[in-house]
Structure formats: C-alpha cells, structure tokens
Structure 1
Amino acid sequence: MLEGPSIQTDMVKALEDFLSVPRKVAITMHHNPDADALGSALGLARYLKKKGHQTLVISPSAYPGFLEWLPQDGEVIVFEEAETEDIKQAIDACDLVAYLDFSVPSRMEALEPLFSGLDKPSLLLDHHIAPTIQATFHFWDPAAAATAQMVYRLIAAMGDLELLDPHIGEAIYAGIVTDTGSFKYPSTSREVHEIAGHMIDIGVPTSTIHYRIYDNNSENRLRLLGYLLSEKLRVLPEYRTAYFTLSADEQERFCTEKGDTEGFVNYALSIRDIVFAAIFMEKEGKIKISFRSIGSFPVNEFAQAHFNGGGHKNAAGGASHVSLEETEKLFLSLLPQYKEQLLNVKR
C-alpha cells in the first residue's frame, strides 16, 4: 500500500541517515493555508519532535478560524504577523527546510525571499502537478489525494507508525478529509480509507474533526452564503457551467473573515448537470479565482491557459489583475470554445 513512485527506498534511506542525529527543521506551506497544508505541517512537526528534532512551523499568512483547533502550544508562526528579521534568523539556523503542500516557490508569496537561495538540505512533500522546487529529499505524487497522505506514507516508510498518536493523527486526518471532500473525490483510494481507519484505531476523534471543520460556521458566513445563492449565482446550462462573483464591498458588508468563502464554489458544482464551476472574488488588489469540475474537464489546464493559475485536474485556482467585471467578461468569452468539451463530460 505504501510503496509507490512517491516513496523511493533510496530516498527514504538518505533521509533516515540525515535525521540520525538531532536536527533543526523549518517547515513551511503555501500562502492562505488550508487544512491539508496546516495539518501536514503540524503532523510532520510533531512526528519529528518525537524523533528528537527541533521544529519551526511557518505559515506565510493567517489560517481560517475553523482550523484554530489544530495548532497547539503556539507551534505555528504566522509570517505576516512576525518580525521578518526574526524569521530569517530562525530559518538560517535550521539544518533542513521542508516544503509541504506546494511545489512552486511563488506559492509562499511574501515569504518566498527568505527561502530562496538557501544553501542547505531541503525536503518536499506534495501532490500538486508540475513541481519546480528541487529538493534534496523529494516525495511527490500527483495521484495522492492529499499531502497529509504523503506525510503518513513517509512515516510508514521510515518504519515509525508506532510513533503516531492522536495529535499527529488529528492533523493528518484533517488534511485528508478536506482534500478528499469528505472522501467523495475520485482521488479517494483504498489507501486513503485504510489511513483513515488507522487514525480511528489510534484514537483520533474523527466525528469531532468533521464537526470542527464543517459545522463551525459564523452567522456572517451563513448569511453570505445565502446571499450568494439567492443573488449572485449564475447558471449557464448551455455550457453546463455555474459561477459566483463576489466584490470587496460585498465581502465587507458581510464582515467576511479568512476562510469564510472556503468551499462555496462547490455549491455551484452541486447543481444537477453542472460540470464546471467557479467563484471570482475581489481580494488583495486582484481577483482570486477558484475553479472546480467533475469528470474529464481539466480546470488546471483552463486556469493555467487563461488565469495565471493551476492546480489539480478537478480543483484549481487562478488570478486576474483586471476588474471583477472585466474578469467575468473574459470568463464568459472563453466558454464557447470549450462548449463541446463541457457537453461531453460524463457526470
């Protein structure tokens, strides 16, 4: 179950040898971390601590409020809220830097310069396509459902599954359950279910984690969702497409907080016979876009071709540097060339 293209025996042995003495490890993730990014980082950090290493977990930006239960004992340093020189010194003092849940340096955004040009060993754990980070120890598999799955694989390959405890398990399970859409996405393999079963065996409160992530809404978030569904949803049956737009003023009206729009695009995708969905949000001086699809339509290729983005086949992101209205017009102008492809998708 755990052997595959992402877990090479020689690479595992090399990492084991490197970690045979106590090391200082800096672990980072992508900007605006989700449960997989944060959970993977914390799961790896807690495992390494059990092995006698010191860890420093750095998030480029704050994480959503519904994930605040994950970090413990102030483990996560948020770069946007810290002194840059302090973070730089801490990274420079480390023996190993670990990149989790991203494989293109620009995903760190403002944190990237602190890691660029480092002349020290590095570790990559990721499942996104087209990696550009050249790590000393790399464990990468685009077929994996989540980076948290990769963390579990690595711990297993190192022969350390007995070191798993509920705290490590909570972090791993949070990453897996969110990146599989609660085990409904096509990437949900037998291995994923077996890992989830192991988490239950070691005492991870899986139902509590589901509650903390999915049933922990603020009133403002629900009112924003209601507004989007009643006022902003646009359905284009001729293209089997549905989408939302959300301006900065609208977000301010509903006192939107980080993470409040997480998963909203899936409501558009849940409409019968829709196979392509998007949400366009005015944020941080640009238009941030999330794309989702069902079946054979590759939203990562669509995002890369037209919106400076990328990601997974059925879940991708992008950005636009023109207005929300212009971005919407561009999106609508592109759909005719994909009409035949969208109409032929099997749902």
Structure 2
Amino acid sequence: MNSEDINAIKKLLSVPQKIVIVPHKNPDGDAIGSTLALWHYLQNKGQQATVISPNDYPKFLKWMPGNEYILNYEKENRQAKRKLNEASIIFTLDFNHLGRVGQLEEPLENSNAEFIMIDHHQEPSDYANITYSDVTMSSTCEMVYNFIESLGDTSDITTEIANCLYTGIMTDTGSFAFPPTTSRTHRIVANLIDKGAENSKIHNEVFNTNTPSRLHLLGCALKNLVILEEFNTVYITLSQEELDSNDFKKGDTEGFVNYGLTLNEIVFAVIFIENKEEGIIKISFRSEGDFLVNEFASSHFSGGGHNNAAGGRSNLSMQDTVSRFKSLLKNYKNKLNP
C-alpha cells in the first residue's frame, strides 16, 4: 500500500465508524478468512463492524472464530440491508468487480459509503475510493496481514486473527504449493503460528472433515474424468443428477479439479458442474506452467481469475458446453505443452 492510502485509512479509522465487510459470492477459505480476520481487527480497535456474505459457504469453513456473527444476505436480508444502509465504510475483500457479489451488487452500487478494496485478482474495476490491489500476492489473507502491518498493528494480531489469516493463505496457495507462494508468504505464516495459529488443527478442520457422500461424489467425478492426450488436458463432468444422488452440499466439489493435474504430462484441468437452479454449467480451470487459464476463461466462458486458477460459466447444456470446450483446444495446442 502507498503512504497516501495508508494515511487516508488511518484518518478514517481514527474516529468511530460503522463498517461492513463483504466477500464474493460463494466465498472460499481466503474470502471468509480475510473478512473474519479484518472483522476481528476492526472490532478490537473499537470499530462497529459486520461481515455480510452474499450467500452461504461450506461447512468446513464455519469453525473459524467469529463465523457466528456473519450475516447471510440471502437468509438475513432485512438485517443485512440495514447494516449496509448505515455503513460509513465498506471493505470489499477477495474480489474486484461488484458483479461478483450476486444480489448484493445493487445495494453496494447504491451505497454512499467509502469503499476500500483489498484483492489479488487481475484487472480491478474502479468502484473503490481506496484500492489495494496486487496480483502477485498469494491470497487476500496475505494482503490483510500487510494491511495490518502497514497500519503499524502487527502486535495487535490475536490468535483469532492468526487462525483466520492462516486458513485463507493455506487454502488459496494449495497448502503452500502454488507459484505465488513466496518466502515472504512463509515468513508471514511463521509469524501467524507464533501469534497462535493452530496449523495442524486448521488443516484438519478444512481437509479432514469429509462425509461418506462427498467421497462417493469424488469417486463419481474421477470415474467421469476424460483425458485428451493430444492437448495434455483432462476434464471432469458432474451432472445435477449425480450431485443429487450423492447428497451434494455446498463446498463438496472443492479441489476436485486439481486431481487432473496430478497426472503426468497434464497441463490443463477443467471441471464442469451442472447447476439447474441457476440454469448454468459452472466451470473451474486449473493449469501448470505458462498456460493462462484466466485468459481462456475470460475469452470463452465469461470468467476470469488467476494465471493458473480461474472460473467461468456456460448457459449451454453440459453436452454442448463440453463440445464447445473441446473445439477450442485446437487453437491452443501449441501453448499446451508440458
């Protein structure tokens, strides 16, 4: 963060404020971890803060300290709207376009609050009064740590804040395996452990709480895996019927797409998941090396994200979506080399 923005934020927070903190729709570990960490920090500084999530999120994230105070905009709409109307400052975390918040988009657009964005995705829009954007960062949680450090308050990082930040960094780096994980990331993680982050417990809470139905769904997904050797690509499909027959719960397919990249010579992995309620096929893209899935997603599937991890969507049927995807690969053959 530059000194001008730091000074502006210090001035804003020097007096009592009514603050709302918002993650993106279908929030993941980085989104929930960063918003709750910031919520704890602001509460401890004497600010009146509220986290409003656009919708529900996976059960394996609901152990985090402060989770019980998050308002679900879909289920607690009246209370959430009141908080938004009262807000003097709105922090938006882990997204950079208001289109990423579902039904929250309109009330945010109509708000007169000061907006502060903290995010690590590419091509940020300009809705915020103060924008802290850095695409080189491993996670928004790492950025929230930097935010607290810039304000001179690392000594105020509590065990609760440390647990939330560790969770987001761990999940968004693939347990510290993805390329944006730097030596600085590891030093921050070490500091968080020193502050009380329970790394072993966090790993168990996030990764070792499977249900039999989720493991059955994983088996179904892997059975559906198709290898396109010519393009060093794999894809997985999951129909609504397959989700329903395996008692699908939000978050159950988290990480499924990554299994494709464990295969030798595979550069590009994709999962197509049918969502009949929304009338779309949700798509997750992952890659190794220099193949930029964010560009692929934005060019063909109304999506975006990071260089090696992105998302998109299709309004076509599953069959037509997969056919379109396969037809596109010939245009990228030279870029899909291991």
| TM bucket normalised to smaller | over 0.9
- 1:239 aligns to what? 231
- 1:130 aligns to what? 123
Q: Return the alpha-carbon distance in structure 1 between the equivalents of residues 102 and 164 of structure 2.
A: 24
Correspondence 1:295 to 2:289 = yes
Counterparts in 2 of 1:142-181, with a 5 A limit? 142-181=135-174
Q: Return the alpha-carbon distance in structure 1 between the equivalents of residues 175 and 256 of structure 2.
A: 15
* Structure 1 unaligned regions, length at least 5: 1-6
Supply the AA of the counterpart residue of 1:264. Answer: F
Counterparts in 2 of 1:23-34, with a 5 A limit? 23-34=17-28
CA contact (8 A) 1:24 1:93 kept: yes
Q: Please point out which of 307, 324, 328 is paired with 1:330.
A: 324
- 2:187 aligns to what? 194
Supply the AA of the counterpart residue of 1:297. Answer: F
What do residues 245-284 of structure 1 show as CA deviations (whole Å, max 9, x unaligned)?
1110110010110000000000011111101000000013
- 1:93 aligns to what? 86
Supply the AA of the counterpart residue of 1:217. Answer: N
- 2:274 aligns to what? 282
- 2:134 aligns to what? 141
Q: Please point out which of 37, 41, 49 is paired with 2:35.
A: 41
Q: Return the alpha-carbon distance in structure 1 between the equivalents of residues 130 and 300 of structure 2.
A: 33
Residue 317 of structure 1 aligns to a residue whose secondary structure is strand
Q: Please point out which of 242, 251, 267 is paired with 1:250.
A: 242
- 2:44 aligns to what? 50
* Structure 2 unaligned regions, length at least 5: none
Q: Please point out which of 300, 304, 308 is paired with 1:306.
A: 300
Q: Return the alpha-carbon distance in structure 2 between the equivalents of residues 159 and 207 of structure 1.
A: 29
CA contact (8 A) 1:123 1:135 kept: yes
Q: Please point out which of 63, 73, 87 is paired with 1:69.
A: 63
CA contact (8 A) 2:72 2:80 kept: no
- 1:273 aligns to what? 265
CA shift for structure 1 position 133: 3.8
Q: Return the alpha-carbon distance in structure 2 between the equivalents of residues 73 and 293 of structure 1.
A: 32
What do residues 103-148 of structure 1 show as CA deviations (whole Å, max 9, x unaligned)?
0100001111111132221110000001114311221100000000
CA contact (8 A) 2:301 2:312 kept: yes
Supply the AA of the counterpart residue of 1:112. Answer: E
Q: Which runs of 4+ in 1 moved over 4 A?
A: none
- 2:72 aligns to what? 78
Correspondence 1:205 to 2:198 = yes
Q: Return the alpha-carbon distance in structure 1 between the equivalents of residues 112 and 60 of structure 2.
A: 36
CA shift for structure 1 position 90: 1.4
Q: Return the alpha-carbon distance in structure 2 between the equivalents of residues 205 and 12 of structure 1.
A: 30
What do residues 286-318 of structure 1 show as CA deviations (whole Å, max 9, x unaligned)?
000000000000000000110000100000000
CA contact (8 A) 1:105 1:133 kept: no
Q: Please point out which of 15, 21, 40 is paired with 1:21.
A: 15
Taking structure 2 as the reference length, the TM-score comes to 0.98
Q: Return the alpha-carbon distance in structure 2 between the equivalents of residues 227 and 311 of structure 1.
A: 27
CA shift for structure 1 position 341: 1.1
Residue 269 of structure 2 aligns to a residue whose secondary structure is strand
Correspondence 1:11 to 2:5 = yes
What do residues 37-59 of structure 1 show as CA deviations (whole Å, max 9, x unaligned)?
00000000100011110111000
Supply the AA of the counterpart residue of 1:11. Answer: D
